[in-house]
Homo-oligomer: A and B are copies of this chain.
């Protein structure tokens, strides 16, 4: 596992599904995972979206799990022929898939004891060495193997499964964000004072996110740091630098 030499704990998200790449479905899982990990001090460092093609999933998974502390995948764990995430994860780790007895038992109970058909049995497949990730919403669980967590694509189910992921992760120092909202000034005049403060705080992230419309324009300046004292100091310096540049419609706002 890489990514941890500087004290950061890092993760990547691998979104699996033709429905995202065709534009049929708007992904929302990336943002939900980012927020969930942020609270744990785990930095989402990269995300990839790949189609329902075995070789593509395997290649992306191997690239990401090598480079980051954790990888969370979403999608492709249902019962239909296009759900091949379990196959891809097993292939990436070079292990076999087994039918997990606990999932078979859960599904048999769910379906009133009748014998499970082939499609339902597909959802019981877990790579050898994998552990289950609870699904408190509906349907079979996800699983984890090595530093990879395999979650559902349906957002409500994905969010439920995340609750059984967090406790397994090594936590990092939480990054805190504070936002200064500037109205009536464009980025063209904000840039210089912002950059001066960014240069004085090289370990922090300072971003400018312009807005316009409804008769108002300006930019939200987001300061992010693991060090709350430095964050407060930088915020003060930024407000002073903006005022020195003649910008005074400034206020701190809740993070959008």
Contact = CB atoms under 8 A, between A and B. Distances in A.
A216 interface: no
Contact of A35 (B23, B35, B138): B23
B187 A80 contact: yes
Contacts of A20: 30-31, 34, 47
Contact of A45 (B27, B51, B79, B199): B51
Q: How many copies does the complex hold?
A: 2
Interface string A34-59: 11001000011111111110001000
B80 A190 contact: yes
A109 interface: no
Contacts of A118: 191-192
B34 A192 contact: no
A43 B56 CA distance: 15
Given A81-B194, A192-B117, A192-B118, A34 B45 contact: no
Contact of A31 (B17, B26, B78, B212): B26
B19 A222 contact: yes
A191 B44 contact: no
A79 B46 contact: no
19 contacts: A18-B207, A18-B224, A19-B222, A20-B34, A22-B175, A23-B33, A23-B38, A24-B209, A26-B31, A27-B27, A45-B51, A46-B51, A47-B48, A52-B207, A81-B194, A81-B195, A81-B199, A82-B207, A119-B191
